[in-house]
Amino acid sequence: MKIAEASRFYIDGRWVDPSSTDCIDVVNPATERMIGKIAAGRAIDVDHAVAAAYRAFPGFSQTSKEERIALLERILTLLQERAGEFAEALTSEMGVAIGFARSAQVPFATEHVRIAIEVLRSYEFMVVRGSTAIAREPIGVCGLITPWNWPLYQITAKVAPALAAGCTIVLKPSELSPYSGLLFARLIHDAGVPPGVFNLVNGAGDTVGAAMSSHPDVEMVSFTGSTRAGVLVAQAAAPTVKRVTQELGGKSPNILLDDADFERAVPLGVAAGFRNVGQSCSAPTRMIVPLQRLAEVERLAIEAVADMRVGDPLSAQTTLGPVANRAQFERVQSMIAAGMDEGAKLICGGLGRPEHLSEGFFVRPTVFSEVTPTMRIAQEEIFGPVLSIMPYATEAEAVHIANDTIYGLGCHIQSTNPERARRIAKTIRAGQVHLNYPAWDGMAPFGGYKRSGNGREYGVLGFEEYLETKAIIGY
């Protein structure tokens, strides 16, 4: 897929040439072939984008709620109209199966905009308590850094509430999946977003991302990515004491209590763990199951994987496309090897590509059983279609295993007893707990405990991350 604007940045309401001729290759992970190049930004390009956002902030921050709603409604309409174009871009740039792009990646991204509109309609920006008025005001220029695994979804999750709050924006999409971001910038222009309110600079994290994080005129950085990169963002931001929200890594558990419906819970658990080819920070990749039901769980997991189809992401029959890039492919292979070396029981999948595929970053859907908490595959984020089945003897042990991680992003609990599931949920150290595979809720705040991050996204709490608090005493 060719994007006409790939050699430029979107700054101050127009497409501008970069400061250098440096480029970054864009590779289709299904073929391992280069399909284009994007401009690689430098610090000076970030300076220009931040200056534009800084100039635009005083005016945009004073726009009415109705004006911002109308703007977001135009963005929402164009996202709906261009859904097919975005789905094709996602498949091209990061290998997601076209069916999943159409049914999840794009619709959920669109939903973030609708929810921002819904939140804005009812939000009270000033509340009077006694003689004090508490005002919530837009924080300022926001630097938004988004990942390669849910490219459009994470862009709208940040841009929509930032615009709703009255902030101005500099966006750095992942250089590994940049086309959806460029298409979004085109959409922003066509929606009539005022010049300077939204700006996009492509480039590498250690240049563009670092320049955004350390810039004195950026008041907030919202980052989604690895915990390692999140630490670097926080360190770069610290001297300017800006707000930093981070959605980082995860190693989410899926606890199957002994009263769960295993015929339902296991296949859905495998599907949840392998969703987006396992490239989701909140994927429940540790299935914690009763020891006495281990053989049954293994059988059901093998059957669930057998129904999955790995292959051409443009085929409607494909369940799992490739992982998104070479570095991730090599990471997944190394972690599968580690599981085998440490003595986990490999019940399906394994090293290498599926036998019918000779090129592309395709991974065999892999399930290990008899995984113990000290193994690397039980502790480290793999970010691929690799599931660890971990047995427990008691309910207390199941909770201990679930919490035995440096991460705390998500957790799933399966039980036919709602009260029991709710009780267990209260013991879990994670930002989201899902009971019995509920429907996705874009209003539910999303974020993590421990090294999974700081702050929240989605819904009202995600919106409020883009606001400052002012007390007017004697009001």
Q: Which tokens go with 92?
A: 């091209």
Q: Answer yes or no: do 211 and 323 share one domain.
A: no
Distance CA 452, CA 251 (A): 9
What is the phi/psi pair of residue 389, to 5°? -95, 125
Q: Answer yes or no: do 106 and 216 share one domain.
A: yes
Catalytic residue among 142, 167, 281, 411: 281
Spans of the chain, pLDDT less than 70: 1
Looking at residue 249, its pLDDT comes to 96
Looking at residue 57, its pLDDT comes to 98
CATH of residue 463's domain is 3.40.605.10
On whether the CB atoms of residues 205 and 145 are closer than 8 A, the answer is: yes
Catalytic residue among 5, 175, 219, 247: 247
Q: Answer yes or no: do 186 and 322 share one domain.
A: no
Looking at residue 4, its pLDDT comes to 87
What domain range is 341 assigned to?
Answer: 253-441
Q: Answer yes or no: do 83 and 191 share one domain.
A: yes
Residue 387 β-bridge partners: 367
Distance CA 110, CA 4 (A): 23
Q: Answer yes or no: do 278 and 363 share one domain.
A: yes
Q: How many domains does the chain have?
A: 2
281 is catalytic: yes
Looking at residue 1, its pLDDT comes to 67
CATH of residue 292's domain is 3.40.309.10
Residues 139-165 have pLDDT tens digits of 999 999 999 999 999 999 999 999 999
The H or E element containing residue 160 is: helix 151-165
Looking at residue 2, its pLDDT comes to 75
447 lies in a domain?
Answer: no
From the CB of residue 394, how many other CB atoms can be counted at a distance below 10 Å?
11
Our measurement of the distance from residue 360's CA atom to the centroid of its chain's CA atoms, rounded to an integer in Å, reads 23
pTM exceeds 0.85: yes
Q: Answer yes or no: do 144 and 232 share one domain.
A: yes
Q: Answer yes or no: do 156 and 220 share one domain.
A: yes
302 Cβ contact list (under 8 Å, min separation 6): 347, 348, 367
Q: Answer yes or no: do 338 and 233 share one domain.
A: no
411 is catalytic: no
446 lies in a domain?
Answer: no
